[in-house]
Amino acid sequence: MCRNIRQLHNFEPPATSDEVRAAALQYVRKVSGASKPSQANQAAFDDAVEQIAHITAHLLEHLTTSAPPKNREVEREKAMARNALRFGTPA
């Protein structure tokens, strides 16, 4: 999975539409191999991002879990600690 696409399911508060769209944009960039499409492909690129964002939001609305929701701040701190170990930077 692309490192820039973050897990969006089972967080409190839930993922925002901006987060869903950002994940869709990263997915389309990865699949297309273009971070900025040409003018000829811009409409197809934008359409794909909107469709994937829509279906992702639909998926997130319908997923169920028995696990308690994750706290965004706690998960962010865990990620920072992992990065500090991995890259040798202070946490």
Q: pLDDT for 56-91, tens place per residue?
A: 999 999 999 999 999 988 988 998 999 899 898 765
pTM of the model: 0.80
Kindly state the average pLDDT of the residues 47-59: 98
Query: HEC string of the chain?
Result: CCCCCCCCCCEECCCCHHHHHHHHHHHHHHHHCCCCCCCCCHHHHHHHHHHHHHHHHHHHHHCCCCCCCEEHHHHHHHHHHHHHHHHCCCC
pLDDT attached to residue 1? 46
pLDDT one-digit tens code per residue, 8-35:
999 988 999 999 999 999 999 999 999 9
Q: How far apart are CA 89 and CA 83, in angstroms?
A: 7
Q: How far apart are CA 49 and CA 57, in angstroms?
A: 12
